[in-house]
Amino acid sequence: MPAQPDPSTPAQPFIAIAAMALNRVIGSHGRLPWHLPEDFRWFRQTTLGHVLVMGRRTFEAIGRPLPGRETIVLTRHHPGWPGVRIARDWNEVRALTRGRKAFICGGADIYAQALPWCSDLYLTLVQREVHGDAFFPPFEHRFELVREILTHPEFRILHYRQKTAAPGPDRP
């Protein structure tokens, strides 16, 4: 597992973006357990022109860099994917994203490591429970709901913000 960000370095706030079922499931056997075209469009519109940071398994599930976005894969082992930048730890991620808007987009371990460093969380809440093997980590103690961006019969897109002014691991 990649090393945590060095707390002595000033925090580069990230933005987490995820879709989660009511039972916190975010994945099943390396795939999203739902197909929500309107959510995909919102994800594309929101992240276009920015940086996506993800773990190796999430990248392999997607299968390619997403157009119009720089992709950084956080991994120690990689086969040399074209069009992708590799970061071996969070300090490398922070160096590669310095001064740029960077979205953390999975998987479960990456979210768990990155949430303390995220200023904001965009969460698509899928309005049902599904079977899965990857779960979104607890975030409610760190984040407060700012607004509901979109309401759909199958899902809601919610914007949360970190409760503290400066994201970091020592925050409650």
**For the segment 42-55, what is each residue's pLDDT rounded down to a tens digit?**
999 999 999 999 99
| Cα dihedral sign, 38-40-43-44 | negative
Going by pLDDT thresholds of 50, 70 and 90, the confidence category of residue 8 is very low
Q: d(Cα 141, Cα 155) in Å, to the nearest integer?
A: 22
pLDDT of residue 4: 54
Residues in the chain: 172
Local structure of residue 117 (DSSP, 8 states): G
Beta 155-162 vs 118-126: how paired, if at all?
antiparallel
**pTM recorded for the entire structure:** 0.89
**For the segment 116-150, what is each residue's pLDDT rounded down to a tens digit?**
999 999 999 999 999 999 999 999 999 999 999 99
Question: What are the boundaries of each domain within the chain?
Answer: 14-162
Q: Cβ atoms within 10 A of the Cβ of 160, count? A: 20
Q: How many helices (H) and strands (E) does the chain have?
A: 4, 10
Please name the CATH architecture into which domain 14-162 falls: 3-Layer(aba) Sandwich (3.40)
